[in-house]
Structure 1
Amino acid sequence: GGCRRSNKGYWWIWFIPAQTSFYLLSALLSHQIIITQPRNKNNMSKSSQQLNVEVEEVVDDSSPSLNNYHEIDEKVVQQIVYDALVFTTLNGLLVGDKSVQRSGRVPGVGLVHLPFSLLPPPFPQTHWNQACELAPLFNELVDRVSLDANFLQQSLSRTTKVDEFTSRLLDIHSKMLEINKKEEIRLGLFRSDYMFDEKTQSLLQIEMNTISTSFSGVGCIITQLHRNILSRYGKSLGLDSERVPTNTADSKYAEALAKAWSEYNNPSAVIIVVVQAEERNMYDQHFVSAILRERHHITTIRKTLAEINQEGEVLSDGTLSVDGQAVAIVYFRAGYTPADYPSESEWKARLLIEQSSAIKCPNISYHLVGTKKIQQELAQPNVLERFFENKEDIAKLRKCFAGLWSLEDSDIVKRAIETPELFVMKPQREGGGNNIYGDDLRETLLKLQNSDSQEDAAYILMQRIFPVNTEAILVRNGFLHKDRVISEFGIFSTYLRNKDKIIVNNESGYMVRTKPSLSDEGGVLPGFGVIDSVYLT
């Protein structure tokens, strides 16, 4: 058998009858073809028993578009899923299986792939550029706000009366002010999350994460996966792998940590990674640690807050020593939720760390800047002017702010009760699964109105963003599920300053979380969403 192209752009295929079904099936599966009648039946030789089939290549217009992933041939989808699952296993897009008891403690036990989207969602190039350009500005904003102790204390004063967790954090901040503790070396590994609002065609910020920003490691792997899939299947799908931007967030995070370690200037000091006792997402964390070890020759040690309390001390020169080892940096991948402080031991460890000369990532001030209340305060009129003089920078930041309100605003509360579908109610919490929506939002507001307590200070109201929903193929536990979804785009950033010298202030990669459009929460590990990348349009 064989094939050749005609002078009119058609392909001719000929083969013996015994092979007809095999070659036709192969052509159909791999090339998207149209079978037509041969132009001259007399050309067929009965003696040779050949069959001519005219095959016309289909142009990209008939390929599944970015918004029509559900139209992809089912056999092709199954093959891509198989290849993707192999890739995730070989390259470490993994998490501990929650059904396996030791999967959060012992590496290599009970592994399962992280839930992921098979193909990346579309995102406008212009808004992508906007998010990347905002990263250094938000870095500077966090740093400047963190230095304004009065602003932090006053903004959070009412919240602390009803939120014990924020109160304990602010108490540590107050103790550092009392002893005039100076943080000359300031390191931030941040992530600013956005959604593209369909109605306003605007990029709007969801939140600024200043502690334990996750998925810098596995976010790079999902990007590699999507680029790999599109390099193999992109032509038949009408997609270009180069439209998925490269991602080196793990390397950028490690580089910032390494530069901070150098600024500390103690070659024998280690980096402590503060972790939860049970951490199914440990592999995301190990990517950064591995790069620090292999490229920068820096040792990292994983410790819980309880272990730091038991093994740690502050030496006379201010050095933090844990289990006899000097600590240059304390990198928090835990400590962002009340569940991480089950006893006084954890709070003692947090205070011990803040009292030491070790670089904190983040320090207590950076942590507080990431609270929802501070985000809401920064969105108030004339507040950004307290921290920036450049009007263009102020305009860029304010342009991406969604509506944010205190529950002290009675008019907004009334509107939220009447139209709860237009709002989200947020507590001072990180980690996903804490927001309040719809009828629950209305009931909570009515309950607070009828209460004499100040519990309303524990929450803020935020404009609900309605992003474009698209078709997606989601893969969880080896099974695929087709759904309509929305996506949240996170831009990682790194910031390092030693006294007045800014050493690092960069956009540093990205991650995307995608969830069914009917789901309110989007956390990947809690089971709401999947990890994703992006296809720039």
Structure 2
Amino acid sequence: MTMASITGGSYPPALANDQERERLALAIKDWSIANGLAVRPPPAVVGPQGDPRGIFAVNAPVTLFPSPFPRSCFQEAKAIQTAYNELYASISQDADFLEGLVQEVAGGDDFIANLWDVHLRVKGEGYVQSLDLGLFRSDYMVHQDGEALQIKQVEFNTIASSFGGLSAQTSKLHQYLAQTEYPLLQAAGPHASGLDLPANHSAKGLAAGLADAFTAYGPSTLGHPTCVLFLVQDGERNVFDQRRLEYELQSTHGIPVFRLPFSEVLARTSIAPSSPARQLLYSLPSSPARVFEAAVVYLRAGYGPGDYPTPSAWEARHQIERSGAIACPSVLTQLAGMKKVQQVLATPEPSGGVPTALRRFVPSETKAAGLLRTFTNIFPMDDTTPAGQAARKMATDPEACKKYVMKPQREGGGNNFYRTAIPAHLASIPEAHWGSFILMELITPPPLENIILRNGALEQGGVICELGVYGTCLWDRKTKAVLHNEESGYLLRTKGDQSEEGGVAAGYGCMDSCSLV
């Protein structure tokens, strides 16, 4: 079975003339701005001199049509999400397991080593908050193996799982176009006769996870009003995506929310003096005498080395981690998202059985089998194990490397090395650092086409789609109880089939939604 056979023919529909293209593009641009499917413009479009007051917004890059996606793959990805939530909640509670993996990669990765150091400092003093919150996203691509189509996991994100706000709006955009614009096109096809566009409540679902953590924190024992802090990067372009979650928390749940640049954590927050609970207090910049107690700190920053340019940035992360606020994520939960964890989970027994690491955290054979079906082949890059030695040989071979992507322990786009770029990068770094990478077999998606609207211009051609499924999970490290575990909507990102990376904010991909086939 191929995607062409299940879409019933040519897709997307051919636009008859320039007038059709312009009308559809204008409808998308106007709807996007009117409904917040927007980003701050990239410097290549409008530089600081052209927008000195920071007032400009442009529609987020988006496909003109929802991309066909196999219904069975979509349903499987959504159904398995709560099992993934439980898995990563369990991993984050196993510091001994994480310590072993950190030691394997930290020699070539100062960022991971510094995160682990934050944990050790807080552990030495003693953690005061036992609740952990994860706003996760598990990313997949459809892998075509002969006639079979199946989902294979690209990565699991445990920090700053973005685009929950914009993905919900993208689904609404395509639903709007299906009602108003697609039926007017001259070309016949499924776009005119009816598309199966699944509802997407990702913004509501992610906000509900934050709200549950806020409630679990409880009222302040110091008499302060409580709040949620969104920890953000300076100059954040993807602000409207984040704002949708803030507005949902404020309007639906009645929770005060404040945006706090990572660079201002030490200036705007403090630990309550002489309190064993070490409450995290936040002072309003406009009115420093007004003090809120942070129940939850949601990190949309702090996921890469660029967020820690000075030692004070690491002190800021340490302050959040040692406080009584519920950090989303905690340092250990962030470390659970290392690509090394994904590799170890997917490494099978020599006998071909279920991986030992997976069974360590998932005793249920049924759940373990369901997770295992979504894994692709991933190899370590160490120089001591047979698997690592074999991976090094493949990674440095000019032909064998073309089947792989090499990944560091990072979140966000633009960090990976693909195919023939792998040997060159390995040659540029000390061999002792190779173990900080993992080698993943490339997933082979079925061929698709679509039209992308980016920076006001239309781009048509072959595309690759990546499905992300959101999950929210709240657990107690002391009691091991899972207090909240939900699948929370989806994201579809699409990129040109000649592009290696897929990050929208990084400038590689675009927003999309699923048309189930």
TM range (shorter): 0.7 to 0.9
1:208 aligned to which of 146, 149, 156? 156
CA RMSD of aligned residues (A): 2.2
Give the direction of change, closer, same or farther, for the CA distance of 1:105–1:490 in structure 2 (3 Å limit): farther
Q: State the match for 1:519 in structure 2.
A: 499
Shift of 1:396: 0.6
- 1:322 equivalent to 2:301? Answer no
Matched, 1:131 2:74: no
State the AA in 2 paired with 1:275.
Answer: V
Q: What is the CA-CA distance between 1:490 and the residue it aligns to?
A: 0.3
Unaligned runs of at least 5 residues, structure 1: 1-60
* Secondary structure of the corresponding residue to residue 495 of structure 1: strand
Once the two structures are TM-superposed, the CA of residue 412 in structure 1 deviates from its matched residue by 2.4
Could you state the TM-score of these two structures normalised by the residue count of structure 1?
A: 0.84
Match of 1:164 in 2: 110
> Separation in 1 of the partners of 2:374 and 2:52?
42
> Which residue matches 1:468?
446
Q: Counterpart in 1 of 2:307?
A: 340
Whole-Å separation in 2 of the counterparts to 1:348 and 1:447? 32
Q: CA deviation at 1:102?
A: 5.5
Equivalent in the alignment of 2:122: 176
Is 1:485 equivalent to 2:497 in the alignment? no
Shift of 1:234: 4.4
Where do residues 36-185 of structure 1 align in structure 2 (5 Å cutoff)? Answer: 67-69=10-12, 71-74=14-17, 75-99=19-43, 100-101=46-47, 109-181=55-127, 183-185=129-131
Shift, 1:326, TM fit: 1.0
CA contact (8 A) 2:381 2:436 kept: no
Aligned to 1:217: 165
Q: After the TM superposition, which residues 233-382 of structure 1 pair with which residues of structure 2 at under 5 Å, given as runs?
A: 233-235=181-183, 236-239=188-191, 243-266=196-219, 268-315=225-272, 316=275, 317-323=277-283, 324-380=291-347, 381-382=355-356
Contact residue 152 and residue 369 of structure 1 kept, 8 A:
yes
1:410 corresponds to which of 389, 404, 418: 389
Number of residue pairs matched? Answer: 472
Moved more, 321-330 or 139-148: 321-330
Which shows bigger deviation, 407-416 or 156-165? 407-416
Could you tell me whether the CA contact under 8 Å between 1:258 and 1:296 is conserved in 2? yes
The one-letter code of the counterpart of 1:426 is K
Q: Which runs of 5 or more residues in structure 2 are unaligned?
A: 284-290, 348-354, 383-387
Q: Residue 454 of structure 1: CA displacement?
A: 1.2
One-letter code of the match for 1:146?
S
1:426, 1:436 within 8 Å by CA — same for their partners in 2? yes
Instruction: Determine helix, strand or coil for the equivalent of 2:205.
Output: helix
Which residue identity is paired with 1:73? A
Cα distance, 1:103 vs structure 2: 10
Partner of 1:497: 475
Report the secondary structure of 1:161's partner residue: helix
* Range moving further from structure 2, 264-273 or 67-76: 67-76
Equivalent residue, structure 2, for 1:21: none
Q: Which amino acid is 1:443 matched to?
A: A
Match of 2:432 in 1: 454
> Higher Cα Rg: structure 1 or 2?
1
Q: Give the drift of 1:158.
A: 2.3
User: Matches of 2:417 and 2:120 in 1, distance apart?
Assistant: 31
Per-residue deviation, residues 156-181 of structure 1 (Å, max 9, x unmatched):
10211111111100111222332342
Give 1:426 deviation, angstroms: 0.5
* 1:357-403 CA distance string (max 9 Å, x none): 10011111110001111111111231111111110111111111111
CA shift at 1:238, angstroms? Answer: 2.3
Alignment partner, residue 388 of structure 1: 362
Residues 103 and 111, structure 1, Cα contact 8 Å, conserved in 2? no
- Per-residue deviation at 1:527? 1.8
Shift of 1:459: 0.8
Match of 2:487, SS state, is strand
Report the equivalent of 2:286: none
The letter of the residue matching 2:87 is L
Q: 2:80 aligns to what SS in structure 1?
A: helix
- Distance across 1 between alignment mates of 2:483 and 2:127: 22
Distance change >3 Å, CA 363–CA 106, structure 1 → 2: farther
Measured after TM superposition, the shift of residue 447 of structure 1 is 5.2
- Paired amino acid for 2:35: N
Write the distance in 2 (CA, Å) between the matches of 1:300 and 1:106: 26
Tell me the CA shift for residue 101 of structure 1.
4.7
Displacement of 1:518: 1.0
Q: Which amino acid aligns with 2:253?
A: H
Give CA-to-partner distance per residue, 1:293-339, whole Å, 9 cap, x none.
Answer: 11111111111222111222212231011223211000001110111
Aligned-partner residue type, residue 330 of structure 1: V
Give the number of the structure with larger relative contact order, counting CA–CA contacts within 8 Å between residues 6 or more apart: 2
Q: TM-score, normalised by structure 2?
A: 0.87
100-109 vs 301-310, which deviates more? Answer: 100-109
- What SS does structure 2 have at the residue aligned with 1:243? coil
Letter matched to residue 321 of structure 1? L
Structure 1: how far apart are the matches of 2:250 and 2:50?
A: 22
Identical columns (%): 33
